[in-house]
Chain A
Amino acid sequence: MTQTGTTDYVGLIRNGIFKENTIFKLALSLCPSIAVTNNLRNGFLMGVAVLFVQVMVNITISLMRNFIHPRIRLPIFMLIISGWVTITDMSMAAFAPEAYKQMGLYIQLIVAFASILARAEMFASKNKFMPSMFDGIGMGLGFLLALTVISFFRELLGKGSLWGFPIIQAKPLLILILPAGGFFAVGILMGFFNWMSMRNEKRRHPDRAA
């Protein structure tokens, strides 16, 4: 979506969560989604980190969009993104050292997220402050929700706990915590997401040939 001057803020947020959900629809920035989602706490924190970076990057670039020469905009964007990722990286090391120990590398890799760069390029560099901020919130929330859902299932079924609190007493499916399980979980959830949106399409446009 590259609308300029849009004031449909809720629409922007809804777009980021459903229509253009980074993980389930666009299949971008997948690397961390499998790596850190083997328990709820890490997945949630990663999502929060991405949300923070996305919003701050969008705001920064939107505020600076008239001062950046088009030819060098991509390196400048990368610089801005790396700056915010470094801040997030250090903050997490300070405030959540345990989680950071397990996923520090993946937090640093946020800088390579195609989704953040793409959003900056497609939206924030062409739109005013408020729409850009809400677009960042929308895409970031979509990512956070996706990660939370994935890690919710993986921890609940794979370890029988949630955020470290034991919930299920039966023997858990250990495979879900292993890397392989991560792929399975995302693949199945992605298929489910597709199926839901296919159903919605059919319901909203019953005359369109599927």
Chain B
Amino acid sequence: MSMDFSKLFELIIAASLINNFVFTRFLGLCIFFGVSRKMETAVGMSITFTSVMMISAALSWLIFNYIMIPLDITFLKIIIFIGIVAGFVQASDTIMRKVSPGLYYKLGIYLALISTNCIILAVPLINAGEKYSFIESLAFAFGSGAGFALALIIMASIREKLELADVPAPFKGTPIAFIVTGLIALAFTGFSGLIKL
């Protein structure tokens, strides 16, 4: 199995910077705004998220390529992928509780938030659509997780300061967060020429 490292590296850069899931694809916004208030929760969510992302990408790739394509039921991918993610999150919730309660105590809540949201479903869907290989899917998942982590951490550090700023009443809370995100997104557009895909 030949691994084309430059292609993998490109995928990771593309997923985390050029097509950052939050700032360019607008996915995972609900979680993004909900969790980016404090640095602590942002970091916790990033770790949980990237791991869930990679494992569910792997699981859905296997099921898609070894079960769905041979059986010609690829049109059911929406239903099946969401089933995989939900099932996996449920399973890891249970496993974490038994095996490592300390870890569960720290990261468990994020797990529940992840189960149904755009971003965790988007990665398997994109992988299937682009027909990535197994390693490529993993790289893509890792890149998207890293991009999401980047977004969360940047946002959290800004929002902690924003709490103390003097925001006009109609904009307090979510609207101003949107505008700040817009500014960050603007900065991220600077990445768009980084790699000629």
Please, how many angstroms separate the alpha-carbon atoms of A64 and B120 in the complex? 29
Please, how many angstroms separate the alpha-carbon atoms of A131 and B122 in the complex? 33
Query: Within the complex, which residue of B33, B75, B118, B119 is in contact with A90, where a contact is CB–CB below 8 Å?
Result: B75
Query: Would you call A89 an interface residue if the criterion is a C-beta within 8 Å of the partner chain's C-beta atoms?
Result: yes
Contact with A along B69-110 (1 / 0, CB 8 A): 000000110110011001000000000000000000000000
Query: Within the complex, which residue of B75, B125, B170, B182 is in contact with A181, where a contact is CB–CB below 8 Å?
Result: B182
Q: When the two chains form their complex, are residues B179 and A183 in contact, meaning their CB atoms are under 8 A apart?
A: yes
Q: When the two chains form their complex, are residues B25 and A35 in contact, meaning their CB atoms are under 8 A apart?
A: yes
Query: Within the complex, which residue of B24, B120, B125, B170 is in contact with A194, where a contact is CB–CB below 8 Å?
Result: B170
Q: When the two chains form their complex, are residues B26 and A182 in contact, meaning their CB atoms are under 8 A apart?
A: yes
Q: When the two chains form their complex, are residues B170 and A198 in contact, meaning their CB atoms are under 8 A apart?
A: yes
Q: When the two chains form their complex, are residues B178 and A190 in contact, meaning their CB atoms are under 8 A apart?
A: yes
Main secondary structure of the interface of B (DSSP, over half): helix
Query: Would you call A82 an interface residue if the criterion is a C-beta within 8 Å of the partner chain's C-beta atoms?
Result: yes
Chain A interface size band reads 35 or more
Q: How many A-B residue pairs have CB under 8 A?
A: 127
Chain B contacts with A in 137-186, Cβ cutoff 8 A: 168-171, 174-179, 181-183, 185-186
Q: When the two chains form their complex, are residues B30 and A183 in contact, meaning their CB atoms are under 8 A apart?
A: no
Q: When the two chains form their complex, are residues A112 and B185 in contact, meaning their CB atoms are under 8 A apart?
A: no
Query: Would you call A30 an interface residue if the criterion is a C-beta within 8 Å of the partner chain's C-beta atoms?
Result: yes
Query: Within the complex, which residue of A27, A35, A112, A195 is in contact with B82, where a contact is CB–CB below 8 Å?
Result: A112
Q: When the two chains form their complex, are residues A187 and B178 in contact, meaning their CB atoms are under 8 A apart?
A: yes
Which B residues form the contact surface with A (CB < 8 A)?
A: 23-30, 33, 75-76, 78-79, 82-83, 86, 116-122, 125-126, 129, 168-171, 174-179, 181-183, 185-186, 188-189
